[in-house]
């Protein structure tokens, strides 16, 4: 009987659901709040549980941002896209791992991504291919300067 009472208690439901979600992966406060709202949990209950979990250290937007940014960087995404995705998840501060990469570092990442995807052929005479590769790198979140740098890179055979 006590188990049934716990399942009906909104505070217990919010705590257990949030903990289950956090056990799978890091979440931002906004993401966790939205997921709990989808489960029809009242906003005051959600806020109290999230406050409690932040105090316990189980929920931390800066830790989430760092983990998320590192994963996206490893997948070949640029700083603009990563920052945009973090903002969509309710995090408005750039994590240290993004700030530690220099402009030259981002250029090198853009070149490496282009090389992996298309190779480093000379694009001087192939405007359509240059535009296609530029769009790809831009969608991946690299700045115009970083994209231009990557498009000018040549392979070792040149």
**Residue 94 located in a structural domain:** no
Residues 55 and 106 in one domain: no
pLDDT band at 155 (very low <50, low <70, confident <90, very high): low
Q: Where are the alpha helices (DSSP H) in 2-76?
A: 2-8, 10-24, 29-38, 43-56, 61-74
Residue 61 near residue 91 (C-beta atoms within 8 A): yes
**Residue 82 located in a structural domain:** no
- Residue of 47, 95, 54, 75 whose CA lies nearest to 140: 75
**Residue 90 located in a structural domain:** no
The C-alpha atoms of residue 103 and residue 71 are separated, in whole angstroms, by 19
pLDDT at 8: 73
Q: Is the pTM of this model over 0.75?
A: yes
pLDDT band at 158 (very low <50, low <70, confident <90, very high): very low
CA atoms within 13 A on the CB side of 72: 22
Q: What are phi and psi of 141, to 5 degrees?
A: 100, 20
Residue where the block lists tokens 């941002």: 65
What's the pLDDT tens digit per position in 90-135? 999 999 999 999 999 999 999 999 999 999 999 889 999 999 999 9
pLDDT band at 75 (very low <50, low <70, confident <90, very high): very high
Query: What range defines the domain where residue 14 resides?
Result: 1-59
pLDDT at 27: 96
Give Cα separations from 143 to 36, 54, 76, 146 (angstroms). 36, 34, 14, 5
Residue 36 near residue 46 (C-beta atoms within 8 A): yes
**Residue 71 located in a structural domain:** no
**Residue 97 located in a structural domain:** no
The number of distinct structural domains making up the chain is 2
The C-alpha atoms of residue 91 and residue 32 are separated, in whole angstroms, by 12
Give Cα separations from 83 to 53, 70, 145 (angstroms). 25, 12, 17
* Percent of the chain whose pLDDT exceeds 90: 86
What CATH number has the domain bearing residue 35?
1.10.10.10
What CATH number has the domain bearing residue 113?
1.10.10
What's the pLDDT tens digit per position in 78-89? 999 999 999 999
């Amino acid at each position: 009987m006590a188990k049934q009472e716990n399942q009906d208690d909104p505070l217990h439901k919010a705590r257990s659901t949030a903990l289950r979600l956090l056990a799978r992966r890091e979440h931002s406060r906004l993401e966790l709040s939205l997921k709990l709202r989808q489960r029809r949990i009242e906003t005051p209950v959600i806020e109290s549980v999230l406050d409690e979990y932040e105090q316990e250290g189980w929920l931390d937007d800066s830790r989430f941002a760092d983990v998320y940014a590192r994963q996206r960087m490893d997948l070949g995404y640029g700083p603009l896209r990563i920052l945009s995705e973090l903002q969509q998840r309710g995090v408005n501060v750039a994590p240290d791992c993004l700030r530690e990469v220099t402009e030259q570092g981002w250029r090198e990442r853009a070149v490496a991504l282009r090389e992996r995807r298309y190779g480093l052929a000379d694009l001087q005479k192939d405007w359509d291919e240059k535009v296609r590769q530029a769009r790809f790198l831009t969608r991946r979140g690299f700045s115009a300067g970083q994209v231009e740098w990557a498009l000018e890179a040549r392979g070792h055979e040149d």
